[in-house]
Copies of this chain bind each other. A is one copy, B any other.
Amino acid sequence: MKPTEPRLPLTRERVLHAAIQVADEGGLAALTMRRLADVLGAEAMSLYYHVANKDEVFDGIVEVIATEINDLVDKIDLPAEGPAWKAAMRQRILTAREVFLRHPWLPKVFESRTGANFAVLRYNDGVIRILRAGGFTNDQCHHAMHALGSRAMGFVQELFTPGPGPVTPEALDGIRAMSDTLPHLAGMLLEVAHDEPDATVGWCDDQAEFEFGLDILLDGLDRLRP
């Protein structure tokens, strides 16, 4: 009989990284205290020595991710003075977005947190820094932050995407069937599907749509610049 494995001791860090891993593999619903403990080779109750409760696990995830994003955007070395603010902001936001794309469940976690998290605040401090360098007043910065919303951190919560799958003939039939009751929606979808016949791409190019919306906002804000 071999001695009991001297398992790595738990730490807050290990718990949080395991939590991200569990959600990456099984989605948010899979992230339970019991499952989390399993992955760490411990009992659920042991977690409570390192985090106060599950809410603190979520807060910790936000902290870890926001810190990762800060590390990335801190490395960006782009001028932001005057008209250059837009390119700097675009780069910052699209860099943050890369992290979110790796964790599809993250937007829900970020949106569920109300409390201020330092790493998140620091990210936004950088957003405001760029706006200020561009020449915006503090009041305009405030409006701009609201207008950008979660887009400032690189994500949007898609409300109803036709699904990530390819454009199937069955889906097209379904859309044709609603031509009577939803003529404008059906007309739009049929034409979009027709123009984009590369079925493997699917209905929407999420990245292109994100940048489209982002550019409208950045251009609109730029026009308000003193």
Residue contact B204 to A146, C-beta cutoff 8 Å: yes
- Residue A221 at the chain B interface, CB threshold 8 Å: yes
Report the contact-size class of chain A (Cβ under 8 Å from the partner). Answer: 35 or more
Interface contact A138-B216, CB-CB below 8 Å: no
User: How often does this chain occur in the complex, in copies?
Assistant: 2
Neighbour of A147 across the interface among B114, B128, B185, B209, CB < 8 A: B209
A129 within 8 A of B: yes
Q: Is A111 an interface residue (CB 8 A)?
A: yes
Q: Is A213 an interface residue (CB 8 A)?
A: yes
- A195 CB–B CB distance under 8 Å: yes
| Nearest-CB residue, chain B, relative to A160 | B116
* B139 with A191: CB separation less than 8 A: yes
What are the 4 tightest A-B residue pairs by CB atom distance, in nearest-first order?
A147-B213, A216-B220, A146-B209, A128-B184
